[in-house]
Structure 1
Amino acid sequence: MAPSKASSKKQQKRGIDFKKIKRKIGRKLPPPNNATNTEIKSKAIILPEQSVATEKTGLAVNKKGLTLKELLQQTSHHNAKVRKDALLGIKDLLHTYPAELSLHKYAVIEKLRERIGDDDKLVRETLYQLLKSVVFPACKEDNQGIFISLLMTYIFKAMTHLAIDVRLMAFKFFDLVVQHYPHSFFLYAETPTKKKKKKKKKKRTITFQPPP
């Protein structure tokens, strides 16, 4: 009996490391004192709404809301339908805002002339109608020398195209230029024939006969 009393006294002197707390079933346990708070608080950043339409307020746009600059860029698109639609959009825009052509006529011509030798027939036809109905009538009183020279370079280039339909269409463009600027015929009429003569000269071969 004596040894058991001595061991119980030693345990009382050491003290209790952990105090057991009785919890009722169903109640949520409180978090421990050293628990890390993992709650993330966020605030929404509200930006003022600004649509594309409001950015273009006051600018000349076509029915689809595209500016002249955007439409000219689309004329170089890899898709033929996009190129054709861009030309139609330019026609629509210049009908509504004719001042845009007088302000940017050289930039417009420099971009449109690239489609004279376009591989797609509908694109070429759409360009032809755009020049015939809108561009040429509006630019008759301008500096015709610069205006015509910008076009003729690409018309003559299309005349030497590998595809026959592109070459035939190039003569239609040339005829259109002559209709609106008759004096251009005398300035450029000999150019296609000169090019043909140069090609024929290149094809000629010189033969040498050996001495007897």
Structure 2
Amino acid sequence: MGKKQNKRRKVKDFAKVRLKVGKKLKKPTSTDTNFKTKKVVLVDQLSTSANICVSHRGLTLDELCRQLGHYNLNVRKDAIIGVRQLLSSHPELIPRHLCLLIPAVGRLIADDKMDTVSYAQLRALLLLLCTSSSRVISAHFALFMAHTLRALSHLKLSVRAFATSVLTVLMNSYPELCINCGDLFDAFLTMFAGNRKPSNKQLLVDALLAFLNVFCKQPSPRHEGPLHVATFSIESARVTRINLTPRPHLFGSSLFDSSHQLQKTAVLRVRQQNLPTEFETEFEKTIETLLVLAKRGNLPKKLHDSIDSLRLTK
């Protein structure tokens, strides 16, 4: 072992390199100009992004929605801001991508690691989603409400308070969809009657008013139109329309009103209905009969004056 180490030490530092037979030594001043190429295939980046809407960071809506579920809190915050900015600039994307937005945004309602600023950004994003019509969002409303009710029973108070504000927005925006949600009624009453409700009284009042507006609506008055029946004759090929709606009574309460002007108006209204002459004759006979009864003292004086005014109204 010692002899070999001594031989290695005796090797000179700048010893001449022995070349193999048939090879030439490269000159130290020469420059190698040869180069090699290699083909690189980018499968995911071949699509052109000329017609794709992107955020201020150059991210598409699909990429931002994937970042909404990222494990890093800062990435989720930036994704919320990016989605809000993108949807504010291009509101036409909302109805077309609700199937992507509702699951991604809905799961953030129960996120207990978010701060006040993030909740404000998320609330603004939810308000943008609620600009969709009831017809468009109806297919995704059950999932949206499920995420909200799940956050309403969260252990953390800040999450329950934020879920209450989101629920108020949903009830104010889509009352016709909320009334068909059976879980909403039970969950809201359980939250409101328990000891775990948020301490913000204004928030509770707004939520209660929205809840009453959904579930305590008075039925609107029915406006019934005229009732018609149509009869069809095959022989004459004609359709006869018959109005079955009864006419209002000719003699209303204004006919015997204390005001003579109202009495005249009522009589003129009766005469303008193009009634037959037989009715006019019967009407005069009735007035004469009432006058006879009034002269005999069988009618009160108030009716006597009214009958006189009817007789003079021609």
TM-score for both structures, normalised by structure 1:
0.65
Within a 5 Å distance, the mapping from 1:1-212 to structure 2 comes to 34-36=21-23, 42-45=34-37, 55-119=48-112, 120-121=114-115, 122-132=117-127, 134-137=128-131, 139-188=132-181, 189-192=184-187
1:131 partner letter: L
Higher relative contact order (CA 8 A, sep 6+): 1
Residue identity opposite 1:179 in structure 2: N
Cα–Cα, structure 1 residues 47 and 59, in superposed 2: closer, same or farther, change >3 Å? farther
SS across alignment from 1:127: helix
CA contact (8 A) 1:159 1:167 kept: yes
- After TM superposition, give the deviation of residue 179 of structure 1 in Å: 1.3
Structure 2 portions without partners, runs of 5+: 1-15, 27-31, 195-314
Q: Counterpart amino acid of 2:35?
A: K
Q: CA deviation at 1:67?
A: 0.3
**Kept in 1: contact 2:99–2:140 (CA 8 A):** yes
Alpha-carbon separation, structure 2, partners of 1:148 and 1:29? 81
Contact 2:148 2:163 in 1 (8 A): yes
Moved more, 92-101 or 105-114: 92-101
| Partners of 1:141 and 1:186 in 2: CA distance | 13
The percentage of aligned residue pairs carrying the same residue is 23
* CA separation of 1:72 and 1:184: change in aligned 2, threshold 3 A: same
SS of residue matched to 2:161: helix
Q: CA separation in 2, counterparts of 1:29 and 1:167?
A: 80
Q: Residue 43 and residue 149 in structure 1: after superposition, are their counterparts in 2 closer, same or farther (change >3 A)?
A: same
- 1:140–1:37 CA distance, 2 compared to 1 (3 A): farther
Shift of 1:111: 1.2
Task: Note the aligned Cα RMSD (angstroms).
Answer: 3.5
Unaligned residue ranges in structure 1 (runs of 5+):
1-27, 200-212
Measured at CA, do residues 158 and 38 of structure 1 come closer, stay the same or move farther in structure 2, by a change above 3 Å?
farther
Equivalences, count:
166
* Comparing 155-164 and 115-124, the one that deviates more: 115-124
Whole-angstrom distance in 2 between the partners of 1:164 and 1:30: 82
Q: Which residue identity does 2:172 align to in structure 1?
A: Q
- Normalising by the residue count of structure 2, what TM-score does the alignment of the two structures yield? 0.45
Determine if contact 1:53/1:65 at 8 Å carries over to the other structure: no
Deviation at 1:79, TM superposition (A): 1.9
Partner of 1:11: none
Higher-Rg structure is 2
